[in-house]
Amino acid sequence: MENSLSRKLEILADAAKYDASCASSGSKGRKGGKEGLGSTTGAGICHSYTPDGRCVSLLKILLTNYCLFDCAYCINRRSSNVARARFTVEEVVTLTTEFYRRNYIEGLFLSSGIIKSPDHTMEQMMLVAKTLRDQGFAGYIHLKSIPEANPWLIEQAGLYADRMSINLELPKSESLKALAPEKNRDTIDRAMGQMHERIAEAKEERRRFSPAGQSTQVIVGADDANDETVLAASDVMYSRYALRRVYYSAFSPIPDASALLAAKPPPLQRENRLYQADWLLRYYGFSVSEIAAGGTGGMLDLEIDPKLAWALKHRMNFPVDVNTGPRELLLRVPGLGVRAVNRIIQTRRYTRLRLSDVVRLSPGIRRAMPFLIAADHSPVRLTDRANLRQQLVPRQMNLFA
């Protein structure tokens, strides 16, 4: 067990990098004032982004990387041969406040391995948040919840945290049972449900409880789950628990890996495509089956984004007239985002839109041109061309280079 504070920070900050569910969007209304420390609304070692694009810096660490659990996919599993360290509650509080005073951070993301018991670990994490608040810290706090812990402890933590998250880990319950035998999918679902109920009750009663909601993380590529299965699990969590965000983390090979794990890591582009597909689920009215239909065998097309993949396989729905087309179909035009579609609908009330007008409203017009009609533009059956995919792929790939 490492003892020096700087060495602990080195170990436990590095161990925290595997948790992707770190974001600060959705929290508002806390200001430190003259006597307090930090602010959840200030502009801004882990960088997260608010919905309006502001960068927020968070101290992202584990309370400890020692763990009683032996999850096959985790570098910090019980049987892993890694350097171990553990912070005390006071050390985390000191680091957070001192880093804030030096203007390094605007908040804290705290997770942990399981030490002694789930209850003990959750209590220690809750005490970190409580102590910070008692000392006047008003910055952002994101706590990783432990589903096996007593619900009362999780509820107490939610009184001090801005966001709580419970990791789903793997999209298939049978995979979780095989790779993480100490964890149980029903326990995770129940904890998410209880968190959702507490957040909804607090909002209705206008009191504070995890105001930025809850999020989760899904590990991609550790088992044989395809993209359709991953997205289906996300869709259920969004609808059932009103999650603010599902984060996708590509599995990284670890030393002395179990034979049960995938032999090779997934391509990083797969993680990116899942995030794009997740956006289509949440904001564009796509269903999981529609998104999956753009790929093959339940896997998303890695070469092009899922929206373009769907459009190319459903060319009978295009082109769409920007002056008369319904919003739900305009949202399916590649290159047109939600904001651009809203602007198009608002503007066309007063004038017939020409292609130059759409160019001003949307930065993705090059991809959109084969799929839309404007007052002075018609694709002239461009949508039907056999080589349309080849014409669009180079531009698509450049976007993600």
Numbers of helices and strands, H then E, in the chain: 15, 9
Average pLDDT of the segment spanning 358-384: 82
pLDDT in tens, 235-249: 999 999 999 999 999
For residues 296 and 227, give the distance between their C-alpha atoms in angstroms, rounded to a whole number: 10
| pTM, full prediction | 0.87
Do residues 124 and 112 touch, judged by C-beta distance below 8 A? Answer: yes
pLDDT in tens, 235-292: 999 999 999 999 999 888 777 767 778 778 899 899 999 999 999 999 999 999 999 9
Q: Which domains does the chain have, with CATH numbers?
A: 5-266 (3.20.20), 314-395 (no CATH)
Residue 46 has pLDDT above 80, yes or no: no
For residues 88 and 85, give the distance between their C-alpha atoms in angstroms, rounded to a whole number: 10
Q: 3-class DSSP state for residue 316?
A: helix
Beta pairing class for 55-62 and 46-49: antiparallel
What φ, ψ does residue 345 adopt, rounded to 5°?
Answer: -65, -40
- What are the E-state strand segments in 85-241? 107-111, 140-144, 163-165, 214-220
Beta pairing class for 163-165 and 320-321: unpaired
Tokens of 168: 């789903």
Question: What dihedral angle (degrees, nearest 10) is formed by the CA atoms of 383, 389, 391, 397?
Answer: 140
Strand partners, 247: 217
pLDDT in tens, 116-142: 999 999 999 999 999 999 999 988 899
CA–CA distances in Å: residue 326 to residues 221, 329, 330, 331, 344:
38, 6, 6, 9, 11
Cis peptide before 394 (omega within 30 of 0): no
